[in-house]
Structure 1
Amino acid sequence: MLNKKLWISAISILRSRSHFSSTLSPKLKIFRVFSCSYHVSEPRVYTRFDDRFVGKYGFSKKNLCSQVSTLSINKCWNCNTVALSKPFLACESCRSVQPVDPSVDYFQIFGLEKIYGIDDTHLESKYKNWQKKLHPDLVHSKSEKEKEYAAEQSARVIDAYRTLQKPLLRAMYLLQLEGIHVDEEKTVSEPELLAEMMEFREAVEEAGSPQALEQIQCQVLEKMEVWSKYFENAFKNRNFDDAISSTQRMTYYHRINEEIIKKL
């Protein structure tokens, strides 16, 4: 019967190295197996492992099937071709632009690791390749649906490119992915930093030549680089308080640099 449920309950402690554990990892042991249920009309298996297994292998503490059930298969809305990889922004089969998938972050769009110190060597070329597939001008004769998809995808790729290209924006975006909002307008109440900012602004105002401005800019960018390194280390160690503090200081130097660029 479809509605018949088969319940298999087993509680066991496996302390010796069994054939099953050795196939997973030389050091891996299965510590507890709780009730596993199987429903004939809805074939899912629920298994929960010891927290040491969960933590070591990067799974959440929810049962493993909860992660499996969240997996979705992306298909082209136009030709139903299954996407073989992410990000699925455009169909390789019929070349139709796909709707925006919010689960795809900016790093995934450009095939980059989700870290601060990215290798941006090919960032511009990847950006141009995406625009060759997504730009709204390419779908001017297509349906209104695809025109909307193209406008959204193209705008998102532009934003992703600009965000990853600039150290400050990249830092703030990484924090955003962690659910942390950085208030750019928040004032840092450190007399030494505020005094330094005043000195930089006065120097920019008094600079009488492009060469003088470039010298000031060099100093500002050096300061920016120092705090970028502080952010990178703090974020890597998940010290978010220091990471936020670093971005706030980077914001000050970024604004000074913008003032210099306007005068050059």
Structure 2
Amino acid sequence: MSKKKLFTPLSTFLRKIIAFVPDYSSISSTTSSSYSSQIKSSICFSLLPPTNVRLLHNLKFCNSFEYLRISGNFFFSNSSEKVEGMCWNCHAVVDSAPFLFCESCRSIQPVDKSVDYFEIFGLEKKYDIEGENLEGKYKQWQKKLHPDLVHSKSEKERDYAAEQSARVIDAFHTLSKPLSRAIYILKLEGVEVDEEQTTSEPQLLSEIMEIREAVEEAADSQALNQILSQMQGKLKEWSSSFDNAFRNQNFEEAQTCIRRMTYYDRVREEIVKKL
């Protein structure tokens, strides 16, 4: 006599659910919201075999969800909630960023590009980061990711360490310079800045031409350093203006400030090369 199955396989159960999920494109926004809440309450956390992920991914209602593969399984969760990170080696769970280095087993973790440069150094996402000891925090990460400290680890971890180190270096150089920091923080807000865009401001163009002529005619390093000091003052002035514009979410004005900073920074670089 054959034994009766006491439960229905989860994959069969999910197929039944999927069979009657409607196409959101043909449903009103009110009805769509209703269906969404029903789906979230019924399968807000489901364990799916890998073979079913492609099927779920093609469903329109899955656009508001994320799934994460962990140890061969897929965890399905609402995208509005932050998914906890898990160490690939010891499976320790962390809920704070950045997760570059597992504190439990000391394993180097793969790069997580969802972690922005401010998070890497534990900084608040703001333009003015003076006094935040950025360089000190950078050196701390470099010590943890130094090749001499990971040479005995597996090839996978050495590769992870190299990738993480390169990302930390890029993050430091980006945030340590006022102009690149301004461009980056606007990018985080979804505002792309065209660094090659020229200005049509006659006053600025005239000023830059005069400054460049002065650089060319400078007789010695003392004269060049004097102009360099002026450029640094201009950069500080417009950096402050950018900070005010960014705080007020005036992104158009913020981009204007960046264009000004770009011109002054180019002159600064020209002077440094001549010194």
1: CA distance between counterparts of 2:204 and 2:254? 17
Question: Residues 101 and 108 of structure 2 are in contact (CA less than 8 Å); yes or no, is this contact kept in structure 1?
Answer: yes
CA distance in 1 between partners of 2:207 and 2:189 (Å): 31
Deviation per residue, 1:21-80 (Å, 9 max, x gap): xxxxxxxxxxxxx89648886357xxxxxxxxxxxxxxxxx99x8455x42121111111
Residue of structure 2 in register with 1:9 after alignment:
none
Q: Distance in 2 between matches of 1:150 and 1:66?
A: 31
1:57 is matched with none
Report how many aligned residue pairs link the two structures.
218
- Alpha-carbon shift at residue 140 of structure 1 (Å): 2.2
For structure 2, list consecutive stretches of 5 or more residues without a partner in the other structure: 1-6, 18-33, 46-63, 66-76
1:113 is aligned, of 124, 137, 152, to 124
Aligned residues of 2:123 and 2:132 also touching (Cα < 8 A): no
Counterpart of 1:206 in structure 2 is 217
Counterpart-to-counterpart distance in 1, 2:223 and 2:230: 11
In the TM superposition, 1:60-209 aligns within 5 A as 66-68=78-80, 70-209=81-220
- Aligned partners of 1:136 and 1:154 also within 8 Å: no
Q: Supply the distance in 2 between the matched residues of 1:214 and 1:123 (Cα, whole angstroms).
A: 27
Matched residue, 1:24: none
Aligned residue in 1 for 2:21: none
Contact 2:44 2:78 in 1 (8 A): no
Question: What percentage of aligned pairs have identical amino acids?
Answer: 59
What residue in structure 1 maps to residue 23 of structure 2? none
Q: Which has the higher helix share?
A: 2
- State how far apart, in whole Å, the 1-side matches of 2:195 and 2:44 are: 49
Across the aligned residues of Structure 1 and Structure 2, the Cα RMSD in angstroms comes to 2.6
Residue 179 of structure 2 contacts residue 261 of structure 2 at CA under 8 Å; is this kept in 1?
yes
Local SS of the residue matching 2:43: coil
Is the CA contact 1:139–1:146 (under 8 Å) kept in the aligned structure 2?
A: yes
Match in the other structure for 1:42: 43
Deviations 1:63-105 (A, max 9, x none): 9x8455x421211111112225221110112211101111110
Give, in whole Å, the separation in 2 of the partners of 1:186 and 1:39: 46
- The 8 Å contact of residues 87 and 109 in structure 1, kept in 2 or not, is answered as yes
Q: Secondary structure at the match of 1:184?
A: coil
User: Alpha-carbon deviation of 1:233?
Assistant: 1.3
Of 182-191 and 136-145, more deviation after overlay is shown by 136-145
Q: Secondary structure at the match of 1:179?
A: coil
The AA in structure 1 aligned to 2:86 is K
TM-score by length of 2: 0.72
Q: Which runs of 5+ in 1 are unaligned?
A: 6-33, 45-61
Counterpart residue type for residue 157 of structure 1:
V
* Change beyond 3 A, Cα 1:193–1:40: closer
Q: TM-score, normalised by structure 1?
A: 0.74
Say if 1:97 and 1:260 are closer, same or farther in 2 by CA, change over 3 A. Answer: same
Question: Is the CA contact (8 Å cut-off) linking 1:98 and 1:149 kept in structure 2?
Answer: yes
Q: 2:199 touches 2:259 (CA, 8 Å); kept in 1?
A: yes
**Mapped contact 1:95–1:133 kept (Cα < 8 A):** no
